[in-house]
A and B are shown apart, each in its own frame.
Chain A
Amino acid sequence: MPKDHGIGASPKRREDVRFLTGAGNYTDDINVQGQAYVHFLRSDVAHGKINNIDTAAAAAMPGVVRIFTGADFEGVGGIPCGWQVTDKHGEPMKEPAHPVLAQGKARHVGDPIAAVVADSLEEARNAAEAIELDIEELPAVVDMKAALEGGATKVHDDLDDNLCYDWQFGSPADETDAVFANAAHVTTLELINNRLVANPMEPRVAVGDYSRANDESKLYTTSQNPHVIRLLMGAFVLGIPEHKLTVIAPDVGGGFGTKIFHYAEEAFCTFAAKACNRPVKWTSTRSEAFMSDAHGRDHVSKIELALDADNNFIGLRTDTYANMGAYLSTFASSVPTWLHGTLMAGNYKTPNVTVNVKAVFTNTVPVDAYRGAGRPEATYQLERVIDKAAREVGVDPIALRRQNFITQFPYATPVAVEYDTGDYEATMAKMEELMDLPGFAARRAASEANGKLRGFGVNCFIEACGIAPSNLVGQLGARAGLYDAATVRVNATGSISVMVGAHSHGQGHETVFPQVVAEMLGIDESMVDIVHGDTSKIPFGMGTYGSRSLAVCGSAMVRATEKIINKAKKIAAHLLEASEGDIELKDGQFSIAGTDKSVAWGDVTLAAYVPHNYPLEDIEPGLEETAFYDPANFTYPAGAYACEVEVDPDTGKVTVEKFVSADDFGNVVNPMIVEGQVHGGIAQGIGQALLENCAYDENGQLLSASYMDYAMPRADDLPHMENYTVDHSCQTPCTHNPLGVKGCGEAGAIGSPPTIVNAVIDALQSGGHNVEHIDMPVSPSRVWEAMQG
């Protein structure tokens, strides 16, 4: 019988009471007395030399407080990049300046050039229209390969070219080349991982506030990691020490990665609030979001898989171009390298894996992490080339994968990571069971009778989550530690506030984290609340991304709760006049083992705060503990996904008829929330596979900058619920964190795109169309064109 409370139960999400009744407190709901509004004048050319900005007429417009340009930010730091990648020659990556407001040149459509602060938003907008901007349009580079050709226009004049780094990783290239030279079969595939816009439901917002009385700055912002913003903006951009800077990320309406990064608008509002001595608010429009939120993916890859005569994978070689956009966003450099190259072995025991990545500057919006971040790109390449190889050598795609699975753990891959645990056979078998493979032939026949082509697609994936061991990522170039922290504050009457460094922007932490603490203490979940998103209230935290919250911050919370239990047992021992070693905690009661003598949780907590009868000579009053937790390894969620699609040969339209995910997330605290996460992730993956595409023209104009041209997945693009099964019953608990959890936030978005494309190719092949690949989004026009040969 399912549990009704604690770990493994599925209580309804308590935060939904406010989210579903319109009572959330989002950044845009925050209005500070006397606030002014900022409107950014953004470049409408992809690349331009700023000859002059005449703000005189605009400054005289009604309501204008002050107009800022790049000149106002000379002497202020630029937006920093948080990860230094070292290239294959041992040289650090190229790291061009990223000013808050453009200085000298604008480098992408949407690059902020000037900012008007006014009494009202309308007045700010009107004044921005009156700014006389003399900008000379320069040739733009958009295509990555063209950007690397000799004589290409340079995005940054002070760099030699548009190459950020040329990175190589894994097995020595000459060894892998030798394996390929002796392979029985080599399968090659060139593909594009399409550029995406994250499109969280809530656009970004920033409110800067400054108190002259005590020289303190405060920023309210739509962030997944307020402490990271405080660190980057305080230390690198504006020079504000931590004790004079508070960053608050209240309710945040979705992030998907794009709200990890420190953005110019955050620094601007904080800076301008002090400069104007007035709170300054910015609310992004949806149009601005398209051209200023960091985009995702945008890799162009060639992947080669070598097989021996028995169809064993013996070598893998990849060559990827990764678009950085015009500037390096906070974690941009790490995505195609350490979050991508390290996953290139996938679920397979391929002994030689060599990964090459060239990161390229172009006149486009910066590109950074988006749900999955590097791991979807790795999985897509690998699982597409395996599917093609299966067809070429004439074996079943499931059997080919199975034959090459890693089966012994721990397993050290040729790409530096060590998988602690897993069971890929178990998830594959679960997927097969749920997909009803024996029934496929009949379903295909039924589709064909309807004039449709039906295809089956399979995919396995692994990801590295629970980011990440600080000493390891430090060696790899991270400029931060990636631990997390929690403070468990037990109040006198036994209720608990847990201050966590993780940030919840849809994940359900407010429900899940109390389940863990309540289980450990044997008390009711309603006695536990979490506090997050405010640097003045929580000890520290690296935030939420990379499916890390429960694995890293949850572990910190467990450690802090263990400290609480240890201290509470001392208090209980004193109250019971027993030895501490004899005290047991069960169901919220401290008892002497083997007796019926006990004290309740509330008696102990009250004693801690009213220490009349208390061992003051041994322990301090109060009951509050903090723990920092630095993970020993990444966690490695993995799974097997499959789907069936129908292709309408007349229109090329693809519909997803059936989808199954069989995931291994280790232990699961709240199954309902895990299933919701996977449902959402798969929806985003289907969006990437079938619909979403961020398009630029050859001049660097952003063409898909509204929902008229950027297609988001909708409910009717997904399979009906009875054909949409997310399973997480295969569980190999993580071996190195106290909860045995691995993380589930990104899996769906990683596992689903190749599943869909593999199924579409299978459908077309079944109809006699010799189509080996279609780039995403697999839109009706692309499918139809491919079918015409």
Chain B
Amino acid sequence: MHMNDSQEINAPVEQVWAAILDAEILKQCVPGCTEMAGNAEDGFDATVVQKVGPVKATFKGHVSLSDMNAPNSLHLSGEGKGGAAGFAKGGADVSLSATENGGTLLEYTVEAKVGGKLAQLGSRIVDGFAKKMADQFFTNFKTAIEGPSEEGETDGEDSGEKKGWFKRIVS
């Protein structure tokens, strides 16, 4: 499936570019990511726990970056294997451009496909799921760069910073 969308981020292009290459930021942004290691040159190894319709699985995968044109554009590609659940793979073209007010317009097109049980059981819901994943990722990414907003700070009593951060995203 194909998707495209954009996000306006309140930070300069160079800062957004650096964030894309940062394993820790990516870990915060990929929904369900429990592990993320690596760097921009060698790519990132990631573990993601997700539930797609009736299929819940731990996906282990590798994300590599290519066609890097700092700080303007790059291509991400990756494949995650979920064991008995099947696999998901895809790529994204990301481009950054400066906006009039000093921020960054992040535009992306994503192509993704699934296989195995994910395709067999979830074909009707997988498009919506992939769109939700992409939206969440780039929303998280925006938040990670811009910093937490005010109302999120008030809601962290039982969990510390990270849980409050996630909770705000899903609400």
Binding site for B on A (CB under 8 A): 44-46, 109, 125, 128-129, 287, 290-291, 697, 699, 701-706, 708-709
Contact = CB atoms under 8 A, between A and B. Distances in A.
Closest 6 CB pairs of A and B: A44-B116, A705-B120, A701-B119, A703-B123, A129-B83, A44-B86
A708 B123 CA distance: 10
B119 A703 contact: yes
B84 A129 contact: yes
B45 to A, nearest CB: 15
A125 B124 CA distance: 26
B120 A128 contact: no
Contact of B119 (A125, A697, A708): A697
B120 A290 contact: yes
A244 to B, nearest CB: 36
A257 to B, nearest CB: 22
Contacts of A705: 117, 119-121
A291 B119 CA distance: 12
B116 A109 contact: yes
B114 interface: yes
Contacts of A699: 113, 115
Interface string B10-38: 00000000000000000000000000000
Contacts of B138: none
Nearest to B83: A129
Contacts of B84: 125, 128-129
Contacts of A291: 120
A109 B117 CA distance: 10
A45 B119 CA distance: 10
Nearest to B53: A708
27 contacts: A44-B117, A45-B115, A45-B116, A46-B115, A109-B115, A125-B84, A128-B84, A129-B83, A129-B84, A287-B117, A287-B120, A287-B121, A290-B120, A699-B113, A701-B116, A701-B120, A701-B123, A702-B119, A703-B119, A703-B120, A703-B123, A704-B120, A705-B117, A705-B119, A705-B120, A708-B121, A709-B124
Nearest to B116: A44
Contacts of A701: 113-116, 119-120, 123
Contacts of B116: 44-45, 109, 701
Interface in B74-90: 83-84, 86-87
B23 to A, nearest CB: 24
Contacts of A709: 120-121, 123-124
A291 B117 CA distance: 10
A605 B156 CA distance: 91
Contacts of B121: 287, 705-706, 708-709
Contacts of B87: 44-45
B115 A706 contact: no
Provide the main secondary structure of the chain A interface.
Answer: loop
A709 B126 CA distance: 13
A709 B119 CA distance: 11
A708 B124 contact: yes
A287 B86 CA distance: 13
Contacts of B119: 109, 697, 701-703, 705
Interface in B99-137: 113-117, 119-121, 123-124
A291 B115 CA distance: 13
A291 B87 CA distance: 16
Contacts of A45: 87, 115-116
Contacts of B123: 697, 701, 703-704, 709
A109 B119 CA distance: 10
A287 B117 CA distance: 8
A702 B120 contact: yes
Nearest to B126: A703
Tell me which of B83, B120, B124 has the highest count of chain A C-beta atoms within 10 A of its own C-beta. B120
A370 B114 CA distance: 29
Contacts of A44: 86-87, 115-117
A45 B79 CA distance: 13
A703 B120 CA distance: 5
Contacts of A697: 113, 119, 123
A707 to B, nearest CB: 10
A584 B119 CA distance: 69
A708 B117 CA distance: 13
A45 B115 CA distance: 6
B43 to A, nearest CB: 17
Nearest to A44: B116
A705 B84 CA distance: 14
Contacts of B124: 708-709
Nearest to A128: B84
A357 to B, nearest CB: 30
Q: With a 10 A CB-CB cut-off, give which of B83, B84, B115 has the most chain A CB atoms.
A: B115
Given A287-B120, A701-B113, A705-B121, 12 more contacts: A44-B86, A44-B115, A45-B116, A109-B115, A128-B84, A129-B83, A290-B120, A697-B123, A699-B115, A705-B120, A708-B124, A709-B123
B62 to A, nearest CB: 13
A122 to B, nearest CB: 12
A291 B16 CA distance: 45
A82 to B, nearest CB: 29
A503 to B, nearest CB: 31
Contacts of B117: 44, 287, 705
B85 to A, nearest CB: 9
Contacts of B120: 109, 287, 290-291, 701-706, 709
A58 to B, nearest CB: 11
A442 B113 CA distance: 52
Nearest to A291: B120
A709 B123 CA distance: 8
A703 B86 CA distance: 13
B84 to A, nearest CB: 6
A67 to B, nearest CB: 16
B125 to A, nearest CB: 9
A386 to B, nearest CB: 37
Contacts of A290: 120
Contacts of B113: 697, 699, 701
Contacts of A125: 84
Interface string B62-78: 00000000000000000
A45 B86 CA distance: 9
A702 B113 CA distance: 13
A128 B87 CA distance: 15
A18 B86 CA distance: 40
Among B113, B114, B117, B124: residue with most chain A CB under 10 A: B117
A711 to B, nearest CB: 12
B122 to A, nearest CB: 9
Nearest to B113: A699
A580 B104 CA distance: 108
Contacts of A109: 115-116, 119-120
Contacts of A129: 83-84
Contacts of A702: 119-120
A115 B166 CA distance: 41
A125 B115 CA distance: 19
B60 to A, nearest CB: 11
A704 B113 CA distance: 16
Nearest to B86: A44
A715 B114 CA distance: 34
Contacts of B114: 701
Nearest to A706: B121
A121 to B, nearest CB: 13
Nearest to A700: B115
A702 B123 CA distance: 9
A290 B116 CA distance: 12
A775 to B, nearest CB: 20
